[in-house]
Homo-oligomer: A and B are copies of this chain.
Amino acid sequence: MKEKLEELKTILAEVDDISRAVAIANWDLETYMPPGGAEGRGNIVATLSRMAQETFTSEKVGGLLDELMPFATELDKDSDDARIITETKRQYEKLVKVPAEMVGERAQLRAVGNPAWRESREKSDYSIFKPHLEKMLDWVQRYADLFKPYDHIYDPLLDDYEANMKTVEVQETFDTIRPQQVELIEAIAAAEQVDDSFLHQAFEEDKQRQFGKEVVGAIGFDFERGREDKVTHPFATNLGYGDQRITVRMGDDFFNPYLFGALHEAGHGMYEQGISKDLARTSLYTGTSLGIHESQSRMWENLVGRSKPFWDHYYPRLQELFPSQLGNVSVDDFYKGINIVKPSFIRVEADEATYNLHIMLRMEIEIALLEGSLSVDDLPEYWNTKFEEYLGITPDNDADGVLQDVHWSFGLYGYFSTYALGNLISVQLWEKVKEDIPDLEAKVGNAEFKPLLTWMNEKIHVHGSKFPPQELMQRVTGSGIDGTAYISYLKTKYGDIYNL
């Protein structure tokens, strides 16, 4: 059986190598590729993606897994080997259920639907995207139905990003926190407002970058095993063991996009940098779910990067770099400014207090569309009504409303939820860290980030995908994903800032 396992691992290593080559090609596409390369690069990525999929879903792998599954039960169930077998089996079973024609069909729908969405958004004309949305929705419904029986049609979709998680778990969690978040932002709206105008002025790009790299290096992103490059839409990607790339967006007339984006992507990057080398080139060599991943990015972006102790330490340095912009702004005002709460239309620009509401709206819409209780025709109006209900404002047009996100044009349903889950998890973990490191905030105020990172390394990162998200949370915190800590974090933080 040891030999069979080695055989499986050899194939998984090949699959991983091919997938990393795709990641390299995609990273280059977003960072440095000249415009002329688009068509050729599309072919390269398509061919390699197909090869990775074909290799992973081959009968060879299926046979090995059948032989190895009984063996896995003889192993320590938390050993790398046992988990490699069972997690590979889980992924394999999902993938082989999808006929090759359906994979091809989705590629087609994306190739046509994504440009249509782009045009639709540019013209703020929903009718352009509508037929494509309808076709993709039909595909997604048929995809979900491949995994029948299910408790809920949304389950197999969510499961693609949060293994083993159920729709009802997420719904219950969101239902508990939503009214409290709505109430909080209503209270904030009624309070004295914060001024953040000093953030909206010219900040020299090179100095922003210098400061950002100092900070990203200080929190623990390892530049010997990674790098940071500029792009239009930031992301983080793991190009193989010891090579983690993060990307950032520069804005020279607004302070926030670069620095907080860099901290966010560094959070993703440090998760991947922390995975055990033993798991490299296996099916476990990646963060375990998008929600857990997002917990890491949001933790460094918000719980550290938007905290008072952090700026008590770093603000003098920032003032030194930007004396004309920030010389006369106090650290208190700066702290309030970067934490301003202001309901707005665009999710990616949303503050901490409103962000989850953007997500919940999307999840409800996805479920209603999939269940058939909402029609594609009625979607824009439904969006606007719900938006007003949760955030108190109504989008002026569909470009700033239902058309703002790329996800649905790619058929990504279930994906949005993970952004909000990440917020909740980040605070749940933070509370747990404080049990082990009671002076955590003082350490942050002293720019001592190592204890925090080490804790995350040991409890979360090192395991890669060994434990599905809810199991990991149980192991680490003693309970599943839960919004209580997040709500109380929001209430304390914004109660303070807005004198509620």
Contacts and interface: CB of A to CB of B under 8 A. Distances in A.
Interface of A: 13-14, 17-18, 20-22, 24-25, 27-28, 32-41, 43-44, 46-48, 51, 222-227, 229, 239-243, 280-281
Given A21-B44, A43-B13, A36 B239 contact: no
Contact of A226 (B25, B34, B243): B34
B223 A37 contact: no
A243 B41 contact: yes
Contacts of A222: 36
A280 B42 CA distance: 13
B32 A227 contact: yes
A119 B85 CA distance: 43
Contact of A18 (B35, B37, B48): B48
A240 B21 contact: no
A224 B37 CA distance: 9
A38 B281 contact: no
A239 B32 CA distance: 12
A34 B224 contact: yes
B239 A37 contact: yes
Contact of A37 (B21, B43, B240): B240
A43 B281 contact: yes
A37 B225 contact: yes
Given A21-B44, A43-B281, A44-B20, A34 B240 contact: no
11 contacts: A21-B25, A21-B48, A24-B44, A28-B28, A32-B227, A33-B243, A34-B223, A34-B242, A36-B222, A36-B225, A51-B51
Nearest to A38: B242
A226 to B, nearest CB: 6
A239 B281 CA distance: 25
Nearest to A26: B24
A239 B226 CA distance: 23
A431 to B, nearest CB: 33
Contact of A47 (B14, B39, B241): B14
B243 A43 contact: no
Contact of A17 (B32, B44, B242, B243): B44
Given A28-B24, A34-B227, A242 B40 contact: yes
A141 to B, nearest CB: 33
A25 to B, nearest CB: 5
Contacts of A38: 242
